[in-house]
Chains A and B, each alone.
Chain A
């Protein structure tokens, strides 16, 4: 079922002369995991802001085309509805903290308080998030004492606690070490198993290859590729558009080129190992 649909969407920030998003159309299906990739000025965060309705609600400027969620224009939902439908974890964890709560537990509970969730249920849901994101040791600390990586995990807990059907994660692992990054991708997998729709802005292409269903590649505000992960991430054209390919795919592409071979292009170590075993 189509969950989000963009048709011919263009957007220009106030006082700007260029479209940062230019005639973009795509559908997001419910229960699938999408990666938005591309260079740092390609428009990925702007697309997230349009889906969430921050554009045009908070950012003015010139938005044309249609954005629908569950078949209804996004502008027909009020902000409280969008908050419960779409969880959004911002790119910069240094600014995501509410600033009004003095410990991590209350920070995570903040949205539930605003929604009027009963106290017992609130405690239960906050505890579940603390467990999910391994925040036990941080639960009583002030959010502003935390490191960048710790803030990133608390921010994600505060977003997931409202149990939204659509989750937008804008570079959720940029400050994390490899283990912390894998933990976040495990959560993406969990969200997927719960039937949630996930939109992930991420540079770690090797992990996208393993965990995502579909890849959308942006270049200069245009959607230049949109397809299943195997189709997009084996195509060298991704590199011409400022994107990156998984290391394993890059190796196989180069091996085929250099040695005149025609091996299929695997994306992950596991796929490559299976392929080599089969070929032996």
Chain B
């Protein structure tokens, strides 16, 4: 059995609105998975079901072999950490340091090892680019950095599965690159990172597995390269290939996703006769 499983899950909110229908997916430890799809497709509802914030209306969600039904959100959250889409829903301490440490201090109770907690906080702060902001009030930080505060606060709890809900929204280049390194770091520790994002270049660069959702359903669960070259699925989910893939397509090259992929194809083409397959426009 996989570490985290959704089996034929349907969820309806108390007002009767059905957000997802018959969704099944499973995750092993040590994976990095991107969930993509339009606003309103059911992505956030799906991940909230994974950490017990929501319980399925039909079907089952199991974490580490146990169904979430009947278990407290706190006990599930120790294994599956969820970073909210809007960091303002999550922040309530008056310094970045206290915010990141809060869960650790609470979990340790009276026997808290301050030095160990401090070391963990510093490590997470470094991965999140917050080393110089530990004494700052979280609300004095821009939205994009506040998001990293909530990521750090969830990371330090060492959940087996870390869920990031639109972490790329509003990030500049440095922030997006930092997210990529952080995801690879957590995955390298044998944990799983599940990320909801609208940034297709980020998906192409940082993830091998992708899940496409559209209109309350899971449409495709496959290697990212297969998703971005599946015209039918892209059309149904209203998504586009990354720009580099579109560029490759105009040259009749399929399967390309990133700048490095395309340069590798160029290296082959240029190897025999330089400029043979793609003549330089300046020379032409």
- List residues of chain A with CB under 8 Å of any chain B CB: 38-41, 91-92, 94, 147-150, 171, 174-181, 203, 206, 239, 242-244, 246-248, 250-251, 254-255, 258-259, 261-264, 268-269, 272-273, 275-276, 278-280
Q: Which residues of A contact B283 (CB under 8 A)?
A: 262, 279
Pick the interface stretch among B57-65, B98-106, B113-121, B242-250. Answer: B242-250
Give A138 to B194 CA distance when docked, in angstroms: 30
Contact status B284-A278, CB under 8 Å: yes
Among residues of A, the one whose C-beta sits closest to the C-beta of B144 is A40
CB atoms of B86 and A261 under 8 A apart: no
Nearest CB on A from B199, distance (A):
9
Question: Would you call B39 and A244 a contact (CB within 8 A)?
Answer: no
A177-B198, A269-B250 known; A251 and B171 CB under 8 Å? Answer: no
Query: Are A279's CB and B172's CB within 8 A?
Result: no
Q: Is B111 an interface residue (CB 8 A)?
A: no
Whole-angstrom CA separation of A41 from B173 in the bound complex: 12
B interface residues, Cβ below 8 angstroms from A: 37-40, 85-86, 88, 142-145, 166, 169-175, 198, 200-201, 238-240, 242-244, 246-247, 250-251, 259, 262-263, 266-267, 270, 274-275, 278-284
- Per a CB cutoff under 8 Å, which of B175, B263, B281 touches A258? B263
Please classify the interface of chain B as helix (H, G, I), strand (E, B), loop, or mixed, using the class held by over half of its residues: loop
Cβ B247 vs Cβ A248 within 8 A: yes
Task: For the complex of A and B, list the 10 residue pairs with the smallest distance between their C-beta atoms, beginning with the closest.
Answer: A279-B281, A273-B250, A149-B39, A174-B170, A279-B284, A244-B173, A247-B243, A179-B238, A269-B246, A177-B38
Which B residues are in CB contact (< 8 Å) with A276?
Answer: 250-251, 278, 281
B275 touches A242 (CB 8 A): no
Report chain A residues within 8 Å CB of B142. Answer: 40-41
B210 to chain A, nearest CB (A): 14
- Chain A CB within 10 Å, residue with most, of B37, B172, B250, B251: B172
Cα distance, A206 to B244, chains bound together (Å): 11
**B171→A180 contact, CB < 8 A:** no
Pairwise interchain contact B39-A177, C-beta atoms closer than 8 A:
yes
Nearest residue (CB) in A for B275 is: A261
A92 touching B243 in the complex, CB below 8 Å, given contacts A203-B171, A242-B173: no
Task: Name A149's closest neighbour in chain B (CB-CB).
Answer: B39
For A246, the closest partner residue in chain B by CB is B243
Q: Chain B residue with minimal CB distance to A238?
A: B173
Asked if B282 and A251 make an inter-chain contact with CB atoms under 8 angstroms apart, the answer reads no
Q: Across the interface, name the chain B residue whose C-beta is closest to A268.
A: B243
16 residue pairs of the A-B complex, CB under 8 angstroms, read: A40-B170, A40-B174, A174-B170, A175-B166, A175-B169, A180-B38, A242-B174, A248-B243, A255-B263, A255-B266, A269-B243, A273-B250, A278-B284, A279-B278, A279-B279, A280-B284
The CA of A157 and the CA of B21, in the complex, are separated in Å by: 32
Query: Are A278 and B38 interface neighbours, CB within 8 A?
Result: no
* Known interface pairs A178-B239, A179-B38, A251-B259; A263-B172 also in contact (CB < 8 Å): no
List chain B residues, Cβ under 8 A from A92.
143
A177-B198, A178-B200 as given contacts; A261 in contact with B173, CB under 8 Å: no
Q: Which residue of A lies closest to B88 (CB)?
A: A94
Among residues of B, the one whose C-beta sits closest to the C-beta of A39 is B172
Contact for A40 among B166, B172, B239, CB less than 8 A: B172
Contacts of A248 in B (CB 8 A): 243-244, 247
The answer to whether B281 and A251 have CB atoms under 8 Å apart is no
Are A273 and B280 in contact (CB-based, < 8 A)? no
Give complex CA distance A213, B274 in Å.
Answer: 35
Q: Once bound together, how far apart are the Cα atoms of A251 and B262, in whole Å? A: 8
Q: Which A residues are CB-close (under 8 A) to B145?
A: 40
What residues of chain B lie closer than 8 Å to A278, measured between beta carbons? 281, 284
CA distance A255 to B284 in the complex (A): 17
CB B6 to nearest CB in A, in angstroms, measures 22
* Contact for A242 among B171, B172, B198, B243, CB less than 8 A: B172
Of the residues B38, B88, B144, B244, contact of A247 by C-beta under 8 Å = B244
Tell me whether A262 and B278 are in contact in the complex, defined as CB-CB below 8 angstroms, given that A40-B144, A91-B143, A247-B244 are known contacts.
no
Looking at the assembled complex, report how far the CB atom of B224 sits from the nearest CB atom of chain A, in whole angstroms: 15
Which residue on B lies nearest to A273, using beta carbons? Answer: B250
